[in-house]
């Protein structure tokens, strides 16, 4: 699956994840208008709109975005579990790549808190037995510790890194006033062995948006291309021994490997070329496993990256520079677009205190229920 | 806590996936691919490996812990599977080349390791007029 013609990120926008309670509609319009302002276009220039939400009612989004203007364009709502933001970006990019439109926009949003949604609560009446997502990811961690000798401290170091990256992100849900230590992460409330509450993503409300366009579309609007979408991949599970067919998180991390290497092929690069990386790090063990799945380290050697500082902002492979799920937050729908926001800011050199040195290639990975996986590679041009 | 301790009428929460007899018997339903013999849980309409037909089968009710965790949050049932405030959960590889499935484990945070042998039991979830609603769970296999 390759892009048919070049596609560029023209603008990105976010509302802060979490923070003081506010109507979700305010978050949606803040993110959308910010992206339009960033792209220096008006909503009248947008030719198709993809909405992304996991848990909002079916017509909620189309109602809210009426305030952007009743321009008559196609509006489609996308939902693909936690990968929804990645999915809505993928659809917008491919609407342009396929030649249907020159300018597409996506806005994704969710507010689990206001809806009383708690992904960590067991639902025993569910046919699968009600084991919560955090239990599944924690079981990944226990198996990892068994197979490769990973310690809880490795997970705590990953989480502390992401908490501290979030301190420099004004849109992050977690904004600690003081640096977060490994000891604080280890000493936090136990959630599900071996994860503590500081090793898991918070789930306040949020919204994020992106505008993408073709070279012709940007030229017509007088815009200069800055960030190119070099690859966009959508994958789902393949069967392997031990495959789960029932539960909150059923898929194997191997899907990340496949989606990453397909994206490398599409972009004509390899993992060694990546300059800034965004993962689905809802729980700390995920980030560790994905280091290896996308080729930053050999199998079983991801722990070394953590202890050597390779994935810190100043390291060779900066990961979760905006705080990732653990620091920035994970409302659901908008999370994948928050990744695109961070990569775009980094590649344009506008990430402020979070800025990594002269990045060219950005990589985003996100999964939905362990069953679907999206990867995107962005390039500074 | 297990089937023997609950009311005689035991109602499975997911009757298409498992069944409980009046004397503690557990039946786990699955599917076997007609062409490749791969076993699946829960039962499938078609084979995920071939797209071809499957046959409904009864799976082994014993297995081995592939991984586990202990969740420090309440189990939403009338009976605590740990006897405390949290609950253990595991991925179990069923015997006889059976599939892997997720389930609650009867016991505390120190009762399981990878490789622990387990057997399926009924865990009471709630009381209904007709009997006790139970979910599929696992406990340590006794010699």
Q: Return the pLDDT at A131.
A: 81
Enumerate the residues of chain B whose CB falls inside 8 A of the CB of residue A244. 91, 100-102
pLDDT at B70: 96
- Nearest by CB to A122, which of B13, B49, B73? B73
**How far lies A171's CA from each of A60, A230, A340, B43, B109, in Å?**
23, 26, 13, 45, 37
**Which residue in A4, A36, A18 sits closest to A332, CA to CA?**
A18
Residue A235 makes CB contacts below 8 A (sequence gap 6+) with: A255, A258, A259, A262, A372, A373, A374, A375
Its pTM stands at 0.95
Q: Which residue from B42, B72, B73 is facing A246, i.e. has the nearest CB?
A: B42
- SS3 per-residue string spanning A158-171: HHHHHHHHHCCCCC
Residues of chain B with pLDDT under 50: 1, 3-7
| Inter-chain CB proximity A139 and B69 less than 8 Å | yes
Please report, to the nearest 10 degrees, the dihedral formed by the alpha carbons of residues B6, B11, B16, B17 taken in order: -10
Interface predicted TM-score (ipTM): 0.93
Inter-chain contact B69–A142, Cβ cutoff 8 Å? yes
- Local mean pLDDT, 10-residue blocks, chain A (381 residues): 86 97 96 98 98 93 95 96 97 97 98 79 64 90 97 98 98 98 98 97 96 98 97 94 83 88 98 98 96 97 98 98 98 98 98 97 95 97 97
Check CB contact under 8 Å for B69 and A129.
no
For residue A99, how many other CB atoms are within 10 A of its CB?
11
Give A87-128 pLDDT, tens digit per residue: 999 999 999 999 999 999 999 999 998 877 776 666 666 655
Cβ-contact B43, B30 below 8 angstroms: yes
pLDDT in the model for residue B78: 85
Q: Is A192 on the interface with B (CB under 8 A)?
A: yes
| Per-residue pLDDT at B3 | 47
Q: What local confidence, expressed as pLDDT, does residue A171 receive?
A: 98
Residue in the structure block whose two tokens are 């067919």:
A245
CA nearest to A173, candidates A238, A255, A113: A113
Residue whose pair of structure tokens reads 């985003």 in the numeric block: A364
CB A294 within 8 A of CB A260: yes
Predicted pLDDT of residue A120: 67
């Amino acid at each position: 699956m390759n892009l048919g013609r070049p596609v560029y990120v023209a603008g990105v926008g976010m509302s802060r994840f979490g923070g003081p309670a506010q109507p979700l509609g305010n978050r949606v319009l803040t993110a959308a208008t910010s992206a339009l302002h960033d792209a220096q276009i008006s909503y009248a220039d947008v030719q198709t709109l993809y909405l992304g939400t996991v848990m909002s009612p079916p017509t909620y989004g189309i109602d809210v975005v009426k305030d952007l203007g009743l321009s008559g364009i196609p509006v489609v709502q996308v939902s693909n579990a936690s990968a929804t933001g990645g999915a809505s970006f993928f659809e917008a990019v491919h609407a342009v790549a396929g030649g249907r439109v020159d300018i597409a926009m996506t806005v994704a949003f969710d507010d689990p808190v206001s809806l009383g949604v708690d992904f960590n609560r067991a639902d025993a009446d569910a046919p699968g037995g009600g084991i919560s997502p955090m239990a599944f990811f924690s079981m990944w961690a226990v198996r990892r510790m068994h197979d490769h000798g990973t310690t809880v401290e490795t997970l705590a170091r990953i989480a502390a890194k992401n908490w501290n990256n979030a301190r420099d992100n004004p849109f992050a849900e977690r904004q600690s006033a003081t640096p977060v230590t490994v000891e604080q992460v280890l000493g936090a409330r136990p959630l599900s062995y071996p994860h503590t509450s500081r090793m898991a993503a918070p789930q306040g409300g949020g919204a994020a948006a992106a505008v993408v366009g073709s070279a012709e579309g940007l030229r017509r609007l007088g815009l200069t291309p800055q960030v190119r979408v070099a690859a966009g991949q959508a994958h789902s599970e393949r069967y392997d021994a031990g495959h789960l067919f029932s539960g909150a998180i059923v898929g194997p991390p191997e899907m990340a490997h496949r989606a990453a290497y397909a994206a490398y092929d599409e972009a004509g690069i390899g993992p060694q070329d990546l300059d800034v990386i965004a993962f689905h790090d809802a729980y700390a063990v995920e980030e560790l496993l994905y280091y290896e799945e996308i080729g930053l380290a050999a199998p079983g050697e991801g722990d070394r990256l953590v202890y050597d500082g390779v994935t810190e902002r100043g390291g060779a492979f900066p990961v979760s520079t905006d705080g990732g799920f653990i620091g920035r937050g994970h409302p659901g729908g908008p999370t994948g677009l928050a990744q695109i926001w961070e990569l775009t800011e980094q590649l344009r050199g506008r990430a402020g205190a979070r800025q990594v040195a002269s990045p060219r290639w950005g990589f985003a990975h996100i999964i939905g229920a362990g069953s679907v996986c999206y990867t995107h590679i962005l390039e500074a041009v | 806590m297990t089937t023997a301790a609950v009311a005689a009428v035991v109602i499975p929460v997911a009757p298409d996936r498992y069944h409980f007899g009046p004397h503690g018997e557990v039946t786990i339903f699955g599917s076997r691919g007609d062409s490749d013999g791969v076993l699946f849980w829960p039962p499938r309409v078609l084979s995920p490996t071939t797209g071809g037909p499957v046959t409904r089968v009864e799976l082994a009710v014993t297995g081995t812990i592939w991984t586990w965790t202990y969740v420090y949050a309440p189990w939403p049932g009338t009976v605590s599977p740990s006897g405390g405030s949290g609950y253990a959960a595991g991925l179990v590889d069923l015997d006889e080349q059976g599939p892997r499935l997720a389930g609650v484990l009867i016991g505390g945070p120190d009762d399981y390791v990878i490789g622990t042998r387990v057997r399926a039991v009924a865990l009471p979830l709630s009381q209904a007029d007709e009997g006790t609603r139970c979910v599929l769970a696992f406990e340590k296999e006794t010699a």
